[in-house]
Amino acid sequence: MNFPTRSQRADSHKPLGGRYKVIRRLGEGGFGQTFLAEDLHLPGRPICVVKRLKTQFSGPQSLQTARRLFDTEAKVLYKLGEHDQIPRLLAHFEDNQEFYLAQEYIEGEPLAAALESGQPWPEAQVIDLLRDLLQVLSFVHRQNVIHRDIKPDNVICRRDGKIVLIDFGAVKQVSTQFFNSKPGRTNLTIAIGTHGYMPNEQMGGKPLFGSDVYAVGMIGIQGLTSVYPTRLKQDPRTSEIEWRGQAPQASPELADILDHMVRYDFRDRYPSAAEALRALRSLTTAAPPPSLPFNLTFSAGGFVGRSPVQSGFSRQSGVARPRIADLGTIRRIQNRIRLVLGGLADLGAMRKLPNRIRLVLGGLAVLVGLVLLVRPYSSPQLVSQPAAVDSPSDPSPAAADLLSQADSLREAEQPEAALNLYDQAIVSAPDSAVAHWGRCYSLNQLQRPDEAIAACDQALTLDPNNPSALSSKGYALNQEHRYPEALDLFNRAIDLDPDNAEAWSNRGASLLLLDRPAEAIESFDRAINLQSDQAEAWSNRGAALWSLRRFDEAIASIDRAIELQPNYPEALRLRQQIREKLGR
């Protein structure tokens, strides 16, 4: 099938799919063409990107097979587009037996332009880039998708400072399978990727999750050395990349991680982005604890958040508030009530008492048990996230005791020890939503969001309307920069528990990260009305006010955060930045 020339397309003036008016061609490669286009069906004719897939068919049956494959791959792209740092797929359609994808247009510059300065990047900047890339890639791998073509040209530095991963290999996979469907080509393997960023197994047409990890590692090495990957030497005996001598400023710890990412043999590499990200986080174990608010930097548009507040990890005052006891405690109280009532019934003296008195005493025992089901919660250092209490199954006494001990360790901010006990409890009671939620919570405290998401998902499978699990998963999503998804979970948690001050506060954080400061302020105000001593809510409210250029209100809000928590480093740093900018 021959593509029309640019002049032929310009003369036709026919919108693609009857909807997309081509403005200009952005690029062309072996797998198709990309155009900048206007969407004529939407108000204001917004700009989008339309990709035409290069296809070859041998007959009607081949075309029908191609349609099915195209629909299947498009569904994958729709799912990937749910991430804030992956372009949304707006539509997929067929026009004159040609296949098209309409995607969100991302304004920004390719990472390649930033790497072409000729100057090595500072290590901290490279670590930030690697972390950002691996967080997005972890989401991709969880969808069971391999990108296949990660390179600087396919990473866009968006205007808000975030990176966006584009040009997924799923599109190229469609084209290669179309080609392979031709007679005589059924055994043809077409490698998808770019030389220098593509490891050995991918060159052979057998990409793995670790192949994407290799590409990210090569980008990190390029940042540290300012040397294009194909210009780096290889050890002639092992085929390993020799790069350390060109990056003397790199720490041995980061260099070891990068070497592990780009091993020649995929079996020696990190098997997935999540594993590589976990190793990278080990470099920053002294990073701020989960409850810290934004680390803010000044930009032309105001202050831009760089790390979200943890959902449910907001510190609070020492005022006691009721908290429903965990299942282990409930189980023990129930047993004690049974013993008390049984003892009363067995006493010969009790049997001689009038029935009315015996009923009163029994009722008092039950009342005491019910009162004990609610216990005070009063440490200023502990997490204020409400506990999950419902589980489809009642755990054994041994599992209940493990849960009780794990909860105590979690509340005492000993997440590693708590996690170990939650794991043990799950072995005994795999259907305990409480155990899976506690595991999610502890993983969040350890800043391991990928595992936390999986644990929260398990809790929500067992108890779909658990506001604590929804909120904890929201935090983990925020850590991966998946702000729209996190916002949706905070909204659902608030619908279930409208008086959850911490959920309102973290909802505001997500809104601010989505550049919706006015809505964020409303959410922070609601949080403060429910619980006026949330230092995080006051501080982040100040950041939102600053972005709206309400400077005096911003300073007042941040000052209130410092008044509540005098040694609050983020609020102190933010106030200093604002005053320096205003010359005060």
The answer on pLDDT for 466 being more than 80 is yes
* Amino acid letter for position 203: M
- Name which of 515, 516, 522, 422 is nearest 472 in CA terms: 422
Question: How many whole angstroms separate alpha carbon 330 and alpha carbon 389?
Answer: 10
Question: How many whole angstroms separate alpha carbon 316 and alpha carbon 131?
Answer: 30
Is the CB of residue 228 less than 8 Å from the CB of residue 196?
yes
In terms of residues, how long is the chain? 584
The answer on pLDDT for 572 being more than 50 is yes
Here the contacts of 282-288 (C-beta below 8 Å, separation 24 or greater) are 282/253, 283/127, 283/251, 283/253, 283/254, 283/257, 284/127, 287/447, 288/569, 288/570
pLDDT single digits (tens) 117-176: 778 999 988 998 999 999 899 989 988 899 999 999 999 998 777 899 998 854 444 444
- Name which of 332, 129, 136 is nearest 217 in CA terms: 129
The answer on pLDDT for 273 being more than 90 is yes
The tokens for 145 are 């998708």
pLDDT single digits (tens) 431-445: 989 999 999 999 988
- Band (pLDDT 50/70/90 cuts) for residue 30 is low
Is the CB of residue 197 less than 8 Å from the CB of residue 131?
no
Task: Give the dihedral sign, CA 245/250/253/257.
Answer: negative
Contacts of 273 by beta carbon, 8 Å cutoff, 6+ apart: 134, 137, 138, 140, 141, 209, 212, 213, 216
- Name which of 538, 578, 529 is nearest 558 in CA terms: 538
User: Is the entire prediction scored with pTM above 0.75?
Assistant: no
Question: How many whole angstroms separate alpha carbon 531 and alpha carbon 319?
Answer: 11
- Band (pLDDT 50/70/90 cuts) for residue 313 is very low
Is the CB of residue 495 less than 8 Å from the CB of residue 517?
no
The verdict on whether 499 is a catalytic residue reads no
DSSP 515: T
Contacts of 304 by beta carbon, 8 Å cutoff, 6+ apart: 160, 161, 296, 297
- The active-site residue, picked from 39, 84, 149, 533, is 149
Question: How many whole angstroms separate alpha carbon 243 and alpha carbon 432?
Answer: 49
The three-state secondary structure class of 532 is coil
The rounded mean pLDDT for the chain is 77
Task: Find the mean pLDDT for residues 304-323.
Answer: 29
Is the CB of residue 411 less than 8 Å from the CB of residue 379?
yes
Task: Find the mean pLDDT for residues 263-288.
Answer: 81
Instruction: Name which of 73-87, 158-172, 313-327, 346-360 the model is least confident about.
Output: 313-327
Q: Tell me the domains of the chain and their CATH numbers.
A: 6-104 (3.30.200.20), 108-287 (1.10.510.10), 326-372 (no CATH)
Contacts of 222 by beta carbon, 8 Å cutoff, 6+ apart: 115, 152, 228, 229
Question: How many whole angstroms separate alpha carbon 485 and alpha carbon 507?
Answer: 11
DSSP 16: B
The three-state secondary structure class of 359 is helix
Question: How many whole angstroms separate alpha carbon 523 and alpha carbon 286?
Answer: 30
27 beta partners: 34
Is the CB of residue 100 less than 8 Å from the CB of residue 16?
yes
pLDDT score recorded for residue 456 = 94
